[in-house]
């Protein structure tokens, strides 16, 4: 810590991340587990992106968004996991104030971008099922690019707004974060400033990016369900449901764990549960997304078979 000029108090220049230090006997096990998850996340998402890129049968709006989601997941998990892995064998587990702010900015940006992409994918499923004859015209390459750019800009602006508010807060100690990365609720709790206006700002952004996104997705699926129920063919209903099941699963996991992390009260009793939910939210879900979108997807399986034939023929 360094003395602030003109003030009889100190200014925090670094934070201590406790990570999973409450489990000292499990250090090697936890490190190996998280390293394995991280490597699988990068491998599976990168493989998914490459498969979509090289197989012309997958050059559709749905797989276009899926490939971008895979890229975002790689970036998202890379914002927190490498630092967490290095901290397992470091004492103290410190990070500078600037490093903490930068880590939160990028983690928040990719998290919000993923949220916006999930909304775009819901609209894509709405167009495909509710307006199948006009699907190609509605989901044009231009609109897909606009949705991608809009998701990126919107997510980045939301994170930048939070970062600007965070930088207005003063930190004079303590500087210990009971988490494995610099997350906003823990940083706000450590601030010596009046955080009322910042918490109002955060609540507004939560409504805009969280509740509004969920609402749009729910409305889209309301129309989708109504359309599916009107189908006379059982096979058609089954096919339509299968095209949405993967996206619904990903949405439920993402927003479910995110709600637990950011909407539940931040008390001492909930810190362990919140840390576990953060592991699911930031580390496990990016690993699961490629599996969720591939296991029940016949087109993905066929593309993988074609890829194997090209390699071994």
pTM for this predicted structure:
0.91
- Structure confidence at residue 112 (pLDDT): 95
Residue 1: per-residue pLDDT:
44
Contact 149, 115 (CB under 8 A): no
DSSP-derived 3-state class of residue 16: strand
C-alpha of 182 from chain center = 15
Instruction: List the single range of 111-125, 244-258, 296-310 with lowest mean pLDDT.
Output: 296-310
pLDDT tens for each residue of 235-252: 778 877 877 888 999 999
**Stretch 196-205: mean pLDDT:** 88
Q: Are 249 and 292 in contact (CB under 8 A)?
A: yes
Contact indicator for 115, 254 with CB cutoff of 8 Å: yes
SS3 195: coil
**Per-residue pLDDT at 265 exceeds 60:** no
- pLDDT tens sequence across 60-79: 999 999 999 999 999 999 99
pLDDT value, residue 289: 93
What is the SS3 assignment for 89? coil
The residues, any chain, with a CB within 8 Å of residue 146's CB and separated by 6 or more, are none
Per-domain boundaries in the chain: 15-312
Q: What is the mean pLDDT of residues 142-156?
A: 96
For residue range 119-130, what is the model confidence (pLDDT) as tens digits? Answer: 999 999 999 999
Instruction: Say what the pLDDT of residue 143 is.
Output: 96
Residue 284 scores a pLDDT above 90:
yes
Report the percent of the chain where pLDDT is more than 70: 93
CATH superfamily to which 15-312 belongs = Rhodopsin 7-helix transmembrane proteins (1.20.1070.10)
On the question of a cis peptide bond just before residue 140, with omega within 30 degrees of 0, the verdict is: no
Say what the pLDDT of residue 5 is.
42
Q: Give 310's contacts (C-beta < 8 A, 6+ positions apart).
A: none
Tell which residue, 20, 8, 9, has the closest CA to residue 174.
9
- Looking at residue 96, what is its pLDDT? 93
């Amino acid at each position: 810590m360094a003395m602030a000029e003109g003030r009889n108090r100190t200014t925090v220049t670094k934070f201590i991340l406790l990570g999973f230090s409450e489990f000292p006997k499990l250090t090697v096990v936890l490190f190996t587990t998280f390293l394995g998850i991280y490597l699988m996340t990068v491998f599976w998402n990168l493989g998914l992106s490459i498969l979509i890129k090289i197989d012309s049968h997958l050059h559709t709006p749905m797989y276009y968004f899926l490939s971008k989601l895979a890229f975002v997941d790689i970036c998202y998990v890379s914002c927190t996991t490498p630092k967490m892995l290095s901290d397992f064998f470091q004492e103290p587990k410190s990070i500078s104030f600037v490093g903490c702010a930068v880590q939160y900015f990028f983690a928040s940006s990719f998290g919000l971008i993923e949220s916006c992409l999930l909304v775009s994918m819901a609209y894509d499923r709405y167009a495909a099922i509710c307006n199948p004859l006009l699907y190609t015209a509605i989901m044009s390459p231009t609109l897909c690019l606009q949705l991608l750019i809009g998701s990126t800009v919107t997510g980045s602006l939301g994170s930048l707004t939070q970062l600007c508010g965070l930088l207005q807060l003063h930190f004079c100690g303590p500087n210990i974060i009971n988490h494995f990365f610099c997350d906003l609720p823990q940083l706000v709790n450590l601030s010596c400033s009046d955080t009322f206006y910042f918490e109002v700002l955060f609540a507004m952004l939560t409504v805009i990016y969280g509740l509004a996104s969920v609402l749009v997705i729910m409305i889209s699926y309301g129309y989708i369900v109504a359309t599916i129920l009107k189908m006379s063919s059982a096979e058609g209903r089954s096919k339509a449901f299968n095209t949405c099941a993967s996206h619904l699963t990903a949405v439920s996991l993402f927003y479910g764990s995110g709600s637990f992390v950011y909407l539940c009260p931040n008390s001492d009793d909930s810190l362990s549960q919140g840390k576990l939910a953060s592991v699911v939210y930031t580390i496990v879900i990016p690993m699961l997304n490629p599996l969720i979108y591939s296991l029940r997807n016949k087109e993905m399986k066929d593309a993988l078979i074609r890829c194997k034939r090209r390699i071994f023929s």
